[in-house]
Amino acid sequence: MKIEVLPAGEIKTRVADLLSEQIKRNPKSVLGMTTGSSPIKYGIYQEWIRREQAGELSFHEARFINPDELVGISADHPESYRTYMQEHLFGQLQTLRYEPQIPDGSSIDLMAECLRFDQVLADLGYVDWQLMGLGLNGHIAFIEPGDHIPAKTYISQLFEENRVSQSPHINSEEEVPKQSITIGLEAVMKARNIVLVATGENKADMVAKAFTGPITTSVPASFLQLHANVTVILDAAAASKISLY
């Protein structure tokens, strides 16, 4: 695991450089995306869009896949991860040729959707380059802490703090999704390269636990210590407690 500590303003350039190297190595890369606040706050997707417009980056042969989606809201709901990806990345790319793959959280048969998504992953040969965030509780994708972590795509029960409750598009507490459909640990470990971005003081404890503490299902991100090709990109605040563990 490589840990890089960068000024916040340099994160987007570093991530875009890593992505560009990946696409240069393999233009047909399967690119795993992430939602969350970091890609927006640090302009990560905006930098890809800028480079694409400048002719420095092409997604013509690449395929995009997202690891998770909220359950119980339609794909076109303003809070769905599909909508997020469409607004912040896919809808702004000009070289995108293949339909991005995202689990369908509104499926009436969620078990079948989990199986279908595992088949999609297997058919694509899993992910070549996965961008990730780190949940405050140590989740990656939407693999929440617990007694065990499933290998295959599954329905995870969201921790209260991870439920989207502030949204202006959600009218009542009842409408806030309680579950997500997420890839399991197999798809994480089979991703050939992982780039994880975590920033801010509030992530410092979890960064230290996840990347220098024991490997445990109560911190799903700790399993990344077993992965051969992970680059963790932090700002100084998020890196501030690493030496404590």
Q: Pick the closest to residue 229 from 194, 183, 184, 188 (CA basis).
A: 194
120/126 Cα distance (integer angstroms): 8
Q: DSSP assignment, residue 27?
A: T
Q: Which is nearer to ligand GLP, 60 or 237 (CB)?
A: 237
Can you read off the two tokens belonging to residue 177?
A: 């999704």
> Any catalytic annotation for residue 235?
no
Q: Which is nearer to ligand GLP, 37 or 94 (CB)?
A: 37
Can you read off the two tokens belonging to residue 244?
A: 């404590």
Q: Which is nearer to ligand GLP, 38 or 222 (CB)?
A: 38
Q: Which of 69, 113, 128, 144 is catalytic?
A: 144
Residue with nearest beta carbon to ligand GLP: 36
By the 10 Å C-beta count (0-12 exposed, 13-18 middle, 19+ buried), 105 is classed as buried
CB of 40 to ligand GLP, least distance (A): 8
CB of 131 to ligand GLP, least distance (A): 9
Q: Which of 118, 139, 193, 235 is catalytic?
A: 139
CA dihedral 204, 210, 213, 218 (to 10 degrees): 120
Contact 88, 153 (CB under 8 A): no
Q: Which of 68, 104, 113, 128 is catalytic?
A: 68
> Any catalytic annotation for residue 174?
no
Q: Which is nearer to ligand GLP, 68 or 118 (CB)?
A: 68
What's the chain's Rg over C-alpha atoms?
Answer: 17
Instruction: Look up residue 155 and give its amino acid.
Output: I
CB of 244 to ligand GLP, least distance (A): 20
Beta strand 68-70 pairing with 179-182? antiparallel
Q: Which residues bind ligand GLP (CB under 6 A)?
A: 34-38, 68, 133-135, 141-142, 162
CB of 61 to ligand GLP, least distance (A): 26
> Any catalytic annotation for residue 160?
no
Q: Which of 60, 88, 137, 162 is catalytic?
A: 137
Catalytic residues: 68, 137, 139, 144
